[in-house]
Structures are given as C-alpha cells and as structure tokens.
A and B are shown apart, each in its own frame.
Chain A
Amino acid sequence: MSASALMFYILSAFILGAGLLAVTTRKIFRSAIWLLFSLTGIAGLYFWLQMEFVAAVQIVVYVGGIVVLIIFSIFLTQRSGMELPVPARGRILFSALAALAGFALAFTLIMGYHFQPWEGGAPLQGGMLAAGAAAGPVEAGGASIGNIGTQLLSADQGGYLLPFEVVSLLLLAAMIGCIVIAMKVKSADK
C-alpha cells in the first residue's frame, strides 16, 4: 500500500471517528469541537483529491465560520458544562437500525453500479484511475483557481454567472433575515 492510499485511509478513519463522536458525545461543547475536527479532516480529503480551492473554502467557511457561529450560539443558549440528557433506549436502537439499513442499501447500490469513465481520457481500470489519467484535456490547469474563477464568472455556455448572482442575493437575504429575527423587539408599553 502506497503512502497516498495509507493517507486516504487515515483521513477517512479520522473523519468518521470524529463525526461519530460529534453525534454521540454528551457534552455539547465537545460535540462542537469534534465537528470541527471532522470538518478539518474533510478539508484534508479535498487536499488529497487535489482540489485545493475547495479545501481552502471548506476551511474558511466551515471551520472558520460555521463552527465559530455554533460555538457562539452554544455559549448564548446553553450552560455548556451541563451534560445533555441521554436519548431513550428505543430511539437509539431504532435510529441506529435505520442508519445501518440505509448504509447497507447504499453499500449494495454502490457495489453493483458500474461507474463510467470520463470521455476522452484513460478509462477507469477496475474502478481505479489509471496512472497518468489526470493528464486530460483541461489538465493544463485542471481545477486550478484560474480555471475555476474564469468559468464561475463567465456568461457563456457552461458559465455559472447567473447562479453566482442568485447566491449572492440569497446571502444578502439571509443576512437581513438574521438581523430581523434575532433583533430584540422594544416593548411598546414603555
């Protein structure tokens, strides 16, 4: 097993272990920290897949933004030293059964599906990317930041300018909505 494959399995074990602890630990603050580790591991997985830009966005937005927001809200709404109540035994049992059944179904589907390789490149050999297959047509830059930026902001065929603008409007709406929802309403009787 090469170092790259070993790296993948270590990253996967880290992601899954931290995720499992995040949903089972009984202290809410520790849960947030395990979520942080899991998200960092996913950023590492993106680095391993050579998607540097997605990994950077993952670290900036998830690790730097959402987890910090979650920790703030824990401090605002919880007595963070307190332990969460244990869920009922029946609920744990049925949730675990449902999750395992879903996983088994997805497992069999993935095992049975034959993935088609991409056009114009070396085919997948037994499900693996052939050596040197990364040298495809666009692979001058591949998923480089320059290519991503050019296609994201182009209005031509295959460009993503319209979704980009729609998402920016969505962010504006979410920002205003957050302010309106969380604003303290002054009582009128004073």
Chain B
Amino acid sequence: MNQIPLTHILFVSTALFFIGMYGLLTRRNLITMLMSVELILNSVNINFVAFNRYLYADKLDGVFFTLFIITIAAAEAAVAIAIMIHLYRNLNSIDVEQTDEMKF
C-alpha cells in the first residue's frame, strides 16, 4: 500500500458513495433502495479505515468508528426489512409510489 496516494482511495469511496446515491434516487423499490444505502455506508467505512491507516496510523479510532457503523447498519437493515415485510402484508407491494397511506 506504499505506492498508492491517499487521494486514490478517497476517489474510490467517493465514486461508490455517488453510485449509491444514484441508486437511491432512481430505484423505486424499498429493497433496492436499502441496498443503495448499504453501498453509501460502506463508502464511508472505506474513508474511515483509509484515514486511520494513512493519517493516524498510531491510533485506532477509525477502526472503532467503522465497527460501530457496521453494527448500526446491521440493526438498521434488520428493522428496515421487518418494516418492509409488514408493509407487504398490508399493501401487497413494497413500491414507494404505492405507500401513500399516511399522505396528508
């Protein structure tokens, strides 16, 4: 890893973030939107680990932030999927265009 500048890793994570954002904006299905959110969270994790490795190699805080983000992402995915299954039971669809029951 000595020959790669930090900026190249940051470009990869930025590109992954905006790929996830593109998916979040174009997809209209709740499961695929959740997948895009996972991609975004992963790009942030790459940033934390790369900064820890390159700029603060004597500390471990980036690793801990990554571990907590992974944990919270797991909890978030579980709750989101429970909500989707409940929604599917009620509406027979998980398309965001049809989930307008609470629209005022």
Using CB atoms and an 8 Å cutoff, list the residues of chain A in contact with chain B. Answer: 1-2, 4-5, 8, 12, 15-16, 19-20, 22-24, 28, 31-32, 35, 38-39, 42, 45-46, 48-51, 53-54, 57-58, 61-62, 65-66, 69-70, 72-74, 76-78, 84-85, 87, 91-92, 94-96, 98-100, 102-103, 106-107, 110-111, 115-121, 124, 126-131, 133-134, 136-139, 142-143, 147-148, 151-152, 160, 163, 167, 170-171, 174-175, 177-179, 181-182, 184
Contact = CB atoms under 8 A, between A and B. Distances in A.
Contacts of A184: 89
B82 A178 contact: yes
Contact of B83 (A46, A84, A100, A181): A181
B63 A51 contact: yes
Interface in B55-70: 55-60, 63-64, 66-68, 70
Given A15-B12, A182-B86, 9 more contacts: A4-B2, A54-B49, A77-B31, A107-B14, A115-B7, A120-B58, A129-B2, A148-B64, A177-B82
A73 B20 contact: no
A177 B50 CA distance: 34
A165 to B, nearest CB: 12
22 contacts: A4-B3, A8-B8, A8-B9, A15-B16, A23-B19, A28-B29, A32-B31, A35-B38, A50-B53, A61-B73, A78-B31, A95-B22, A99-B19, A102-B21, A106-B18, A115-B6, A127-B6, A130-B2, A152-B64, A171-B74, A174-B79, A178-B78
Interface of B: 1-12, 14-23, 25-29, 31-32, 34-36, 38-39, 42, 45-46, 49-50, 52-60, 63-64, 66-68, 70-79, 81-86, 88-89, 94
B68 A163 contact: yes
A11 to B, nearest CB: 9
| Most chain B CB atoms below 10 A, which of A15, A20, A28, A74 | A15
Contacts of A77: 31, 84-85, 88, 94
A148 B78 CA distance: 26
A141 to B, nearest CB: 10
B76 to A, nearest CB: 8
